[in-house]
A and B are shown apart, each in its own frame.
Chain A
Amino acid sequence: MEFLAWFGPVFEPVAFLLLLGGTIGGLILGATPGLSPTMAVALLIPFTFHLQPVQGLILLGSAYTSTVAGGAVSAILLKIPGAPANIATTLDGHTMAKAGQGKRALQLSFLASLFGGVFGVLLLIFLTPVLASWALKFGPSESFWIAILGVTIIGTLGGGSVIKGLLAGCIGLWLSTIGFDDILGTQRFIFHSSLGGGINIIAALIGLFAIPQVISMFAKGRSTTSMDVIDVRPHPIKEAIRELGQSRLALTIGTAVGSIIGLIPGVGGQIAGLVAYDQTRNFSKDRAKFGSGHPEGIIAAESANNAMVGPSLVPLLTLSIPGSPTAAVLLGGLIIHGIFPGPNIFLYHSNVVWPFINSMLIGQFLMCIFGLLIAGYAARIARVPPYAMAAVVLALAVFGSYSVQNSMNDVYVMFVLGVAMYFLERYGYSAAPLVLGLILGPIAEGSFVEGAMIANAQNGIFQYFFTGGLNLVLIAIVVASIGYSVWLELRMKRHEAKV
């Protein structure tokens, strides 16, 4: 119950204002089509440099929470999911909105998000210290395998081609080695003077997540398509709360599925929402109504994608393995504030980590309150045309990456990586494993070098890295995750060939 002692810092004026700002801003950003939670958090990181670590993390955490929930606004009112996590919400949400029940759909969405989100953060509060104390047993070899597991699992389970996912992870690991070697000071892969200091993680994060979206907005050209926001008519909140209480099945399945998927590294909210929607439909008495404006569809999807947020931080805080791409960006945010996630995080940084987690709990309530208040307006604000959004995001990306170290080299690296990532994404490569390789690369290399030194003084590298219970379990998980994903891909190919 240590977390109870750390609510005070969250209510300090600056921290609470940031929590409010992050929540409201996140709701608007989340409601804006084309601005994913991952990109929003990446663009916010430079703003946290001037804040104390706890304040910066509160801002990032509240933005993460509310962008996921805010994505439901545009999913319901515009039929455009604000984030991939809200895809399942469009299925019933927009149909309800078209039938004049937009307010009811939004109320159910935010209330379900609150329920799922609070459950998820409670899991984060109670599971993280347990996993952290277990992870204290890890030595360099286990840390090395954990880092490799992080890269392989996000590369293989993220959807798409397994080989391309792993390849993207390898590219990230290689990029992390550019610059000067930490131990011998040797220059490695510095083929241009801009790379002398290596690749800055924050500049890379901004480039990899923001620039591809900017170019995607350019790709729409001089489009004249305008998005019509459906007007929301008043609907009593009491009725929505009563309806939520009656939809226990959808709420339970959504919350359970979201929590479990959040705990699995690398899977993310998109899958949580879709799986919860599908499972609730399978178990529902009214399964035929799904897709035609059934409230249980929204409740299942939204409780799942918000229940995913808290648990996605459990492996992140204890093992440095993010549970979602946005959590991977948060890892970058933690590292730049000098907080290296791992088993000792509660030992050395409890004054930062507990207020951060507590702020996410309070943020769930704020997200629900402000979501219900401003949802209709957020959708209107979010109707910014893509060409204006592209210019704004580009400028923010340039300023943000420059402000990391006041260096133009970071801006160049940001832009080159971003443009390359746009093309790589078009050919089936994903940014998430690449980013994770870049972030976990130094951890993997440090553990590998340390382990190799110990191994040379003992029984040799093979004995050190490939024997021992924990090592074998981790290697088995790495192999199993790759094997399972290859099997899934082959099954899908066979299915496609039959169709």
Chain B
Amino acid sequence: MKRFEHAIPAGIICAIGMWVAYVSYTQTPAEAFVFPRLVATVFVVLAAWTFVRSLMPDAKVQQAISAATWSNILPGVAVAAIYVFWAGKALGFYTATTLAVFVLISYYDPAPHRDVRSWGKRILITAGFMAVMYLLFAMLLGVFTPREVLFR
């Protein structure tokens, strides 16, 4: 399983390299793809070498991501993905960020969820941080962000 784990990313990179090389050598006009061809050729050679090395019996094998790590990162990455790909645009940056920060802090905070004071602390951290973000980006830098659903 450990060897398989290292061969997967090496294989994916090798496949990407081959796709890059295929596109570089088949697309026209050829003049626009001269530099990409150069890069793709070296890319494929190095990626293939890495992939083959990862399958060799003497390849250095160590577990890169344990099951416990997966279970720790997946909820956070899922919340972050929803925040980036959907909530940011659909709800507006400030609303989405408030929700994302609050959910992440609440999920990863080791303080017991039954403790009322810990919820107060989480709300306070989120509100304080969002106040700073609003001051910084909306008031000071004047960054135009997607329309908010809760306020204008």
Give chain A's interface residues, CB within 8 Å of chain B: 47, 49-50, 163-164, 166-167, 170-171, 173-174, 177, 181, 183-184, 186, 188-189, 214-215, 218-224, 385-388, 390-392, 394-395, 398-399, 402-403, 406, 408, 411-412, 415, 419, 423-424, 426-427, 444-445, 448-449, 452
Contacts and interface: CB of A to CB of B under 8 A. Distances in A.
Max count, chain A CB within 10 A of own CB: residue among B65, B84, B143 = B84
Nearest to B146: A408
Contacts of A164: 50
B36 A184 contact: no
A398 B47 contact: no
A392 B88 contact: no
Contacts of B119: none
A97 B77 CA distance: 37
B69 A219 contact: yes
B33 A188 contact: yes
A408 B90 CA distance: 11
Contacts of B72: 218-221
B35 A445 contact: yes
A410 B43 CA distance: 25
A392 B101 contact: yes
Given A219-B72, A220-B72, A449-B35, A406 B129 contact: no
Contacts of A184: 29, 31-32
A483 to B, nearest CB: 16
A399 B143 contact: yes
Contacts of B107: 222, 387
Given A50-B141, A215-B76, A398-B88, A163 B50 contact: yes
Contacts of A385: 109
Nearest to A189: B23
A496 to B, nearest CB: 9
A399 B72 CA distance: 25
Contact of B32 (A183, A387, A403, A411): A183
Interface in B1-38: 6, 9-10, 13, 16-17, 20, 23, 27, 29, 31-36, 38
B97 A395 contact: yes
Nearest to A162: B46
B43 A170 contact: yes
Contacts of B127: none
A406 B34 CA distance: 32
Interface size class of B (residues with CB under 8 A): 35 or more
Interface string B100-144: 110011011110000000000000010001000100010001111
Interface string B59-71: 0000011001101
A171 B42 CA distance: 10
B13 A171 contact: yes
20 contacts: A50-B141, A167-B50, A170-B39, A173-B39, A184-B29, A188-B27, A219-B69, A221-B71, A221-B72, A222-B107, A222-B109, A387-B108, A388-B109, A394-B80, A398-B93, A399-B93, A408-B89, A408-B146, A444-B35, A449-B34
A387 B29 contact: no
A424 B50 CA distance: 13
Contact of A415 (B84, B93, B105, B125): B84
Nearest to A173: B39
B9 A223 contact: no
A388 B16 CA distance: 36
Contacts of A394: 80, 83, 100-101, 104
A415 B47 CA distance: 24
Contacts of B16: 171
A398 B83 contact: yes
Nearest to A387: B108
Contact of B110 (A50, A173, A224, A427): A224
Given A163-B49, A402-B93, A392 B129 contact: yes
A181 B133 CA distance: 37
B149 interface: no
B73 A452 contact: no
A423 B65 CA distance: 9
Contacts of B108: 218, 221-222, 386-387, 390
Given A427-B9, A448-B34, 17 more contacts: A166-B42, A166-B46, A171-B43, A177-B39, A214-B76, A215-B77, A218-B73, A219-B73, A220-B72, A386-B108, A394-B101, A398-B93, A399-B93, A402-B145, A415-B81, A445-B35, A449-B34
B45 to A, nearest CB: 9
A314 B103 CA distance: 45
Given A167-B50, A449-B34, A214 B64 contact: no
B151 interface: no
Given A186-B32, A218-B73, A408-B146, A167 B47 contact: yes
Contact of B85 (A218, A222, A412): A412
Given A186-B29, A390-B104, A406 B76 contact: no
Contacts of B75: 218
A47 B141 contact: yes
A446 to B, nearest CB: 9
A214 B81 CA distance: 13
A167 B145 contact: no
A125 to B, nearest CB: 32
